[in-house]
Each structure stands twice: as C-alpha cells, then as structure tokens.
Amino acid sequence: MPSLDLNLIVVLHALLEERNVTRAGERVGLSQPGTSTALARLRRHFNDPLLERVNGQYVLTPLAQALHDQLGHTLDDLQRLLAAQPRFDPSMAERRFVIQCSDAVLEVLGPRLLASVAQAAPGVSLDFRAMNEAVVSDLPGTLREIDVLIAPRELFSPPEVPNVELYQDRWVCVTWRGNDSVGDRLTREEAARARWVMPFKHQFGASPSDAAMSALGIGRHCAVRVENFTAVGRLVVGTDLLVLYHERLVEQHRDHDLRELTLPSPLPPLSEVAWWHPVRQLDPGHSWFVDLLTQQAHALQRTPTEPHPSLRTE
C-alpha cells in the first residue's frame, strides 16, 4: 500500500468536507498549523493542490471532488473493519440494526423478528426503513447505509452481494367478494380488460408481479397506484378492481371481504431474500442478526399452495 499515514485520510475527508483549514482542524482535533502541515503532505502525495483559492474561498480541484465522492464510504468501511470483534453477546449488546424492506415483509416477518430480538437482546433496537428508488438504482450505496436489505430475488440478483433466502410467498389474484363482473376463474381477455390496483411500478420499474404477468402475455390496466402492499387488499373492497396480492398478507388480514380468482396460468413463487454489504461479513453482531432473521423467516415456511380459507369464493 502507499506509504501514507491513514490518519491523514481522516484529515483529508475533513478538509474536503469543510473546505476550510481551520474548521477541518477543529473537526479532527488538530491545530491550524498541524492541519496545514497535513494538507501539504496530502498535496505532495497526490501531486495535486486539492484545495484552490477562488474569489477568496477554497474550492475542490477535479481530483479532490472525485476523492470526496468516494472517501466517505471508504472511511465508513474502514471503521467497520477496524471495529471488528471476535464475539458478540446479544444479551449485553446495545446496538441498532437498520433493515430496509417493503411494508409486506414488515407485516409478515416483523412481529416474529421483534419478539425474538426483544427476548434474546433487550438492548438491541431495530430501525425499519421503507423501500425507495435507490434500492434498484444504487444497490451498493444502499447496502453501505443499512445492515440488511430484504427484497425479492426477482427484483435483482447481483452475484457478488452476500445474501440468504428467507421465505417464499405466492402471488394470488383477489377482488372484492361482491364484485360480480368476473367469475372465479379469469381468462386472459378478462385479465387484460380488468382495472387493477398496482403498487410500486413507477418507483422500481417493472415489479416482479409485472414481470410474471408479462411472461404470461398479460398486460394490466392500472386504475390505482399505491406505494405499498398492505393497503391494496382494503382498496378493492366495494369495487370491481383486481390486485395481485401476497398470500401471506391475506393471512394477516382475514377480516377483508375478498375472494381469490384463478389466473389463466399459475405465477412462479416470490422469493424474499436478505442482502448485505460484504464488509459486514467480519462483524459477529451482524452475523448473529442475520442468523436470527433467517431462523424467524424459516419458521414461516408453510409454502402456500392452497387458497387460504379467508379467500372465500361464491
């Protein structure tokens, strides 16, 4: 590796963030002369001024801007590496785990996970974050900011990202029980003509359900767009709308007055997968959490094959 004191990288990050020698020094606990000396060493190392004075203030050179764009993530990864410990005691730990997932996963898996964490690690807190566009557009950046992403394998499948399959779910087509515009078995023409409630499409591009229906040669007319799954079952009540719904969500909402419609062809199951950044492989606390998450997910595994009793048919 280049013969550069790693502490200078911390100073470099502060300089690029603050663009002011005095404020950068205060941020890292160095005097103004000490920070100036560090800046001079960095300039010699990179053979670049890094900070240039323009109209009385410092601006970043092109190289400095490129370094700034990557340095924050690099320092975060380095801190995680250096903080690696040989063991993790959940009963004594005080830590926060950040999980990003859809509201469907939160509703299906969340209660089991919270109960198990509360029992095994009372000092551990969980931070659930909603899915957003960056999950698809910048997966590496997303994984750097969180501990675990739970998303369908059908959404993406990067081979270099550590992952474990949690559970499978089944797509079911449901409508309001009082909707008499369709029978219990949909034809392709009825599916194409129907009005659908559809979640997430604009945010994530083609969703797994869109891809599955397209593979059957069925395009859907979107009548209602929502950015979650758990609301869609309630939205179809009292209407002639259809929705592709996670069967496990139906099991969570048995009071909904829904009935299942048989699709022209069965859709492949949906696989929910946990993904995490490779740097977390060295963290025994993270390994403990993934193991606990996997155990609770596998306990769900009653692979749905038959319609749930709450999906009443006429």
Q: How many domains in the chain?
A: 3
Segment 73-83 mean pLDDT:
72
Residue 155's CATH number = 3.40.190.10
Domain boundary among the residues 232, 253, 270 is at 270
pLDDT tens-digit series, residues 82-116: 666 677 899 998 999 999 999 999 999 999 999 99
Q: Percentage of residues in the chain with pLDDT exceeding 70? A: 88
pLDDT band at 254 (very low <50, low <70, confident <90, very high): low
Average pLDDT in the chain: 85
Instruction: Identify whether residues 49 and 129 lie together within a single domain.
Output: no
Instruction: Identify whether residues 100 and 64 lie together within a single domain.
Output: no
pLDDT tens-digit series, residues 30-48: 898 999 999 999 999 989 9
Residue 283: give the domain boundaries.
Answer: 95-167+273-298
8 A C-beta contact, residue 262 and residue 121: no
pTM above 0.75, yes or no: no
Winning range, highest mean pLDDT, from 73-82, 85-94, 136-145, 166-175: 166-175
Residue 35's CATH number = 1.10.10.10
Instruction: Identify whether residues 238 and 262 lie together within a single domain.
Output: yes
